[in-house]
Amino acid sequence: MLKRRDALDSHVLKSYLSKMGNNQIKSDLADPTSFSISRNAFQLNYIIGTGGFGRVWKAEFKKSHQPYAMKEMSKVRIVQKRSVHSVMNERAILEKLNNPFIVNMHFAFQDRAKLYLVMDLLSGGDLRYHIGRQRKFNEAQSKFIAACIITGLEYIHANGVIHRDLKPENLVIDSRGYVRVTDFGVARLYSPNNAKDTSGTPGYMAPEVICRNNHSYSADYFALGVMMYEFMLGRRPYVGKSRAEIRDRILSKQVQVSITELPIGWSYEAADFVNRLIQRKPANRLGHNGIREIKSHPWLKDFPWKSLFDKMLDPPFKPASGDNFSKKHFSEIGEDDAQEVQLIPEDLFLGYEYRTYLLHHLIGLRSERRIKDIEGIDLLYECNLIHKPSLPLSKWIDLGSSEISRHFLRRVHQSPSHRLNLLEKETWSGTVESLLLNRVLIVITAHLLLWTNLLMK
């Protein structure tokens, strides 16, 4: 956590705009192309995965040298698979979410042929990669992984979203060993009448989903139970060659972890935890009454949740240093036929862009020593630049830059009176004392972004 000075100099802010150069700001805001994002803004290093619509690159943002995972999706393939709604839905959901236990979106943009989604890059690889290498996890490792998933799901569900495709391939590990939830391609906002809207991976789909019944957040808990079963025994509880075969096996028998097959080193509480999660009837499933029911289970009741969220724990499973991606050869994906691309209406993916352009443009200026950071979020509202956040300052510093910027974007949209008019403040002078908070810069640029949108209209 950032160590703050006992006495903050209120004059530290005075030269912020002068150091940035007001004329340059006005010029940049008036010409959006000066900070627009395209594929050319990134250095594409190599392919780290493939999917139904294209491939995933390990990429680097050229100005900041920040690494990202860039999902490159063919518009032709999206249309052919009738997945326009799903792709746009994923983009919309990701804009609403930002949490240290999910893979967050940083950019979304498009060209004539493709869509691009730029996300956090986690070098630890996905859980499927590690299951393939060691087949099972021990109880301590499984408990930590489950706790990370539960923390991510708690946030996702609190925002009214059902993930619906929780599986090892969609759980990625950072370099330290913390797990995050990714891939919101089939996620949906909760609706009580969603029987017709069923998607996912059959081996991990809850019975109510695979049988096309109404489903709720507990469908994600069933998938968690399936993965825990797999970590423990090295196989899934229900397997089959097709969705219909898996459905028939689910309907024919309730699978449970028996005491006789409990591996050495695993507790009875762990077996009970798994057995209660994979209950076929949602009403009997652990978590049906809310995620607190899961967190209070005897297997997890003493788990240090706050230390986990603050990432102060030492993960029991650590990925190897470097990139933990499959070394298998990814087949080359051919380019789309130009005539097919031209048949796609230009406005079919209207609004796909995620406008963080100015934010990264200003970070680029900072890296070129044309601007500097400023000290303390409290200085911002002391100078009437922003309204005071509802949470304590120390909490906002802990949350991280991306969460801070999104919070203020939401609050400013809701309260027009709080919009920041930096362009009117041209009389500031002085010097910025020191570099300190990248996060503070992001808060300011979030507000500048609002003015960018106004000037572009």
Under DSSP, is residue 281 helix (H, G, I), strand (E, B) or coil? coil
Under DSSP, is residue 152 helix (H, G, I), strand (E, B) or coil? helix
The residue from 28, 120, 126, 165 that is catalytic is: 165
List the Cα angle 258/149/297 in 5-degree steps. Answer: 50
Instruction: Answer yes or no: are the C-beta atoms of 440 and 380 closer than 8 Å.
Output: yes
Residue 416's nearest CA partner among 453, 445, 378 is 453
Please tell me the distance from the alpha carbon of residue 329 to that of residue 226, in angstroms, as a whole number: 29
Q: Are strands 114-119 and 161-162 parallel, antiparallel or unpaired?
A: unpaired
DSSP string of 39-73, one letter each residue: GGGEEEEEEEEE-SSEEEEEEEETTTTEEEEEEEE
Instruction: Answer yes or no: are the C-beta atoms of 256 and 226 closer than 8 Å.
Output: no
DSSP string of 155-212, one letter each residue: HHHHTTEE----SGGGEEE-TTS-EEE---TT-EE--S--TT---S-GGG--HHHHTT
Instruction: Answer yes or no: are the C-beta atoms of 448 and 420 closer than 8 Å.
Output: yes
Instruction: Answer yes or no: are the C-beta atoms of 41 and 411 closer than 8 Å.
Output: no
Q: Strands across the sheet with 66-74, in order?
A: 42-50, 54-61, 66-74, 114-119, 105-110
Under DSSP, is residue 110 helix (H, G, I), strand (E, B) or coil? strand
Under DSSP, is residue 19 helix (H, G, I), strand (E, B) or coil? helix
Give Cα 28 to chain centroid, integer Å.
29
Burial label, 321 (beta-carbon count in 10 A; 0-12, 13-18, 19+)? exposed
337 is catalytic: no
Instruction: Answer yes or no: are the C-beta atoms of 408 and 401 closer than 8 Å.
Output: no
Take residue 151 and report the two structure tokens written for it.
Answer: 């923390």
Instruction: Answer yes or no: are the C-beta atoms of 257 and 233 closer than 8 Å.
Output: yes
Please tell me the distance from the alpha carbon of residue 127 to that of residue 399, in angstroms, as a whole number: 26
Catalytic residues: 165
